[in-house]
Structure 1
Amino acid sequence: MRMGAEIEPADVMTAFGFRVHSTASNRLHAVRDDHHFDMRIFRMNRVPSPSKIRALRDTVDPGEIVTFVVPKATARAQEVVADIPGVGLVSGDGLIFLPGLTLIDTIEPLPKPRGRVPWGTYAVIRALIRTKQGRSQSALARETGLTQGAVSMALSKIAAEHHRDVDGWSTISPSELWDEFMETYPGPGGTRTFWYSMAPFNEQVRVLRKRALLSADGAADLIAPWRTPVKIVAYAAEGVSLEKLGFSPATREESNVEFVIPADRTIFATAESWGLGCADPVLAAWDVLQIGGNDAEEALEIIRRTVLKRWGT
């Protein structure tokens, strides 16, 4: 079940036979046959004007390809990209255009991406769910990795009931906050690549935990072990050579590991404040829901009950 799914260039490219590695939250390295591409990713609703493309090209490192990820590759977009050296295009409807290489498939385009994502609002939601203890804005800022001003803005945007008393900011409705997060969080953004390993699940967790923050089934076993593991989501601040660790590139459907360098950097701060040795359980539950499976809803409910019980203690 993928709610709010966005176009993942690595998924599109892997289906065309590329081996794709995340090197940063907006960078990918892709290889196909003798073609090697270092790509700077720009997610947009449509390809911008030639003047804006040239301005963007001047901001990237030498040798990097300015690569636009868009829902649909219109004829005009293809013409604009083809006319400017050092520019590429990956579309949700199945086109890859990179210098010296054009590949086309026909698939159903994904919905257009939303505007700027308020990562801070979702981080404060997760912080308020952690405990019923009131906290000052400065304390919430430390827990989420935000500035105090960003916390203040986030608190003004949260729909579910929350309030300030003598102890600080808290909520009496953690279940409402939980639902708000599950229903509206658009995902962590950044770059996402897909991997497969035949190693036992516990061995995959052992290897990855040293290098990344684990979520989905990689965290559920620590939070509320219940279902048979399906997939690990691994968050890292920078690239990791998963092939050297025994993992092979895969499509989203084939993979049992999704490696993410997130644009939502609050993920690391909230994990530390929860102190469970994995992603915070609200995010982990969201990832379980995205992965899906016959028992995903049941697993989500078990994590939810565990989290809400902890909030009340």
Structure 2
Amino acid sequence: MDLVAVEEGCVVILGTEYADPASTEAGSEDRALRRGRRPWTRWAVERLLMLAEQPLTQVELAAGLQATQQSVSHVLRGHRFAARTDRGWVIGQRAEALDGLLAEYPGPGGVSTYWYGLDPAVRQAEAATTWCAERGVGCVLTGDVAADVYAPWRLPAVAGLYSSELLDFTVAGFTPTTDAEYTLVVTVPQDPTVWHTAAAVAQQQAARVDPAAVDAVPPVRVDPIIALHDVLASPGPDAAEAGEHLRRAILDGTWRG
């Protein structure tokens, strides 16, 4: 029997349990807080403003996040770092704002499954995303594989993928494994804005090449700030150094290429 426990962030498939890492941490009070409503829209607005090349209007922010203008207005009103200009909204004190966001943002959350493959991490990521695309399942790369595009620094050791639904990757040539031995981790995120900010970044980058083709460009990887969060949470003694490399690229805009 398969089981999905939404409140506990846990899925059991064929006797194997896959849990949201945040849901397994100790402390009943903390778990109760995690089950509460999280300000996904606020965090996404901050990411979009932080990554934008130019000011964004309230209308543009709402459209990019598929949110109401009222919810975006609520975020911007009285925001510590957001300021309104004659062309739209911007984020000031960018380094402080980014560090504050990283300290507060818990990550996209969700349920993860772990897989093992023999190919290098980048090739595993490509194979997994191609397999998802062939089945019409939305997915975006994260962690080191995404960071390797935004700000190359260390060779990706594992592949990270956000998927719109749980999939059995044994059909794609991967072997199920544990969170201690995986080479590919696939997560169905709790944060719905992951997809919207990924699409906004993809469109921003496409516009630099061909503005006419923007609407036809699907997102391939998460936005750089989500990637940074996941790099910092990744295994390896040099995760902090890799994260700092991407952080600098975000602050100075070099992640855009």
Give 1:234-245 correspondences, 5 Å limit: 234-245=161-172
Amino acid at match of 2:4: M
* 2:63 matches 1:142: yes
Q: Is the 8 A contact 1:196 1:256 kept in 2?
A: yes
Give SS of 2:113's match.
strand
Higher strand share: 1
Q: Deviations over 1:57-92 (max 9, x none)?
A: xxxxxxxxxx9x899xxxxxxxxxxxxxxxxxxx84
Amino acid at match of 2:147: A
Equivalent position to 2:90, from 170, 192, 200:
170
Q: 2 CA distance for matches of 1:250 and 1:281?
A: 28
Aligned to 1:18: none
Aligned to 1:293: 236
Shift of residue 198, structure 1, vs aligned partner: 1.7
Q: Deviations over 1:249-280 (max 9, x none)?
A: 22212112221111211111101111163110
* 2:202 matches 1:282: no
* 2:137 matches 1:216: no
Shift of residue 239, structure 1, vs aligned partner: 2.4
Equivalent position to 2:156, from 229, 232, 241:
229
Q: Is the 8 A contact 2:249 2:255 kept in 1?
A: no
Q: CA 1:201–1:195 in 2, change beyond 3 Å: closer, same or farther?
A: same
Q: Deviations over 1:228-265 (max 9, x none)?
A: 21222211112222111112222212112221111211
Q: CA 1:290–1:144 in 2, change beyond 3 Å: closer, same or farther?
A: same
Aligned to 2:4: 39
Q: CA 1:195–1:137 in 2, change beyond 3 Å: closer, same or farther?
A: same
Higher helix share: 2
Give SS of 1:243's match.
coil
Q: 2 CA distance for matches of 1:152 and 1:233?
A: 33
Equivalent position to 1:128, from 38, 44, 49:
49
Q: CA 1:202–1:40 in 2, change beyond 3 Å: closer, same or farther?
A: same
Shift of residue 139, structure 1, vs aligned partner: 0.2
Q: 2 CA distance for matches of 1:162 and 1:244?
A: 46
Q: Which runs of 5+ in 2 are unaligned?
A: 10-16, 133-138, 206-219
Shift of residue 157, structure 1, vs aligned partner: 7.1
Q: 2 CA distance for matches of 1:247 and 1:156?
A: 47
Q: 1 CA distance for matches of 2:7 and 2:195?
A: 23
Q: 2 CA distance for matches of 1:252 and 1:138?
A: 41
TM-score if structure 2 supplies the norm length?
A: 0.77
Give 1:8-47 correspondences, 5 Å limit: 36-43=1-8
Q: Is the 8 A contact 2:20 2:110 kept in 1?
A: no
Give 1:70-85 correspondences, 5 Å limit: none
Q: 1 CA distance for matches of 2:180 and 2:92?
A: 39
Q: Is the 8 A contact 2:125 2:161 kept in 1?
A: no
Shift of residue 175, structure 1, vs aligned partner: 1.5
Q: 2 CA distance for matches of 1:43 and 1:156?
A: 34
Amino acid at match of 1:145: Q
Give SS of 2:171's match.
helix
Q: Deviations over 1:196-247 (max 9, x none)?
A: 2122223202112332200001201111111121222211112222111112
Report percent identity of matched pairs: 33
Q: 2 CA distance for matches of 1:208 and 1:190?
A: 19
